Structure 1
Amino acid sequence: MSLDDLTNDVQDSYGQLDDELTVSLDREARNELALLEAALEPEDTDELVRRAIHMLFQTTVDTGKLDFQLRSAYDVTYDEYLSGMTFEEMTGADQYPSMDDERRYQF
């Protein structure tokens, strides 16, 4: 897979997300959300869910897990996704033809 595949998959997923998401919670998640709501007193529960998504995303980026998953599935990193170019495209490494080692030193 490639950077273009990743971009297409992100756009597809974004289009499928509704403004209103319905999430089913298990007992543990419901208890944790109730405790956070009581302690942090947000305007609404949705604010806690938004914060949780941002925290999970930032933690995944900071620990390198996002890069690992993207490299495994799409052969790109998060930085490459943000720039819209692979490392090879950025450095120009993909512009040169491959070396033919058998004929490399022949004149």
Structure 2
Amino acid sequence: MTLEDLTTAVEGTYGELGDSTDVELDRETRTELAMLVAATGADADELVRRGIHALFRTTVDTGDLDFQLRNEYDVSYDEYLMGMSVDEMTGDAQYPQQDDDRRYRM
């Protein structure tokens, strides 16, 4: 898969999610969310948003996101943000691959 495939997947999923998402909570998650709401006084929806941000940041910082993206789409998060691959940035993509069998024929 490619950078274009990743961009298409992200945009498609973004559209499918819409403005709100219903998530079923298991007992442990519901208990932890209730504890956080009681302790912080924050709205449960806000805590879920913060949790997603924290998980995303941790995934980026540890390199797990790049690992997953490289395995699935052969790109990194930085390449996604820049909209081009490393090969495109360095100019390697603009030059055709050399055919070693015919390189030195006269």
Smaller-chain TM-score bracket = over 0.9
Tell me, which stretches of 5 or more residues in structure 1 are unaligned? none
Q: Which amino acid aligns with 1:23?
A: V
Deviation at 1:106, TM superposition (A): 4.9
Q: How many residues align?
A: 106
Query: SS of 1:98's equivalent?
Result: coil
Could you list the runs of 5+ residues in structure 2 that have no partner in the other structure? none
CA distance in 1, matches of 2:20, 2:99: 57
Give the letter for the 2:73 counterpart. Answer: Y
- C-alpha root-mean-square deviation of aligned residues, in Å? 1.2
Letter matched to residue 91 of structure 2: G
Q: How does 1:4-15 map to 2 (within 5 A)?
A: 4-15=4-15
TM-score normalised by length of structure 1 = 0.92
Q: How far does residue 97 in structure 1 lie from its aligned partner after superposition?
A: 2.0
Percent of aligned positions that are identical: 63
- Provide the TM-score with structure 2 as the length reference: 0.93
Distance across 2 between alignment mates of 1:20 and 1:71: 29
- Report 1:1-107 matches (<5 A): 1-42=1-42, 44-106=43-105
Map Cα deviations across residues 59-85 of structure 1 (whole Å, 9 max, x no partner).
000000100111111111000000000
SS of the counterpart of 2:99? Answer: coil
| Range 79-88 or range 15-24, more displaced | 15-24
Deviations 1:7-63 (A, max 9, x none): 011010000112222111000000110111111111x11000000000000000000
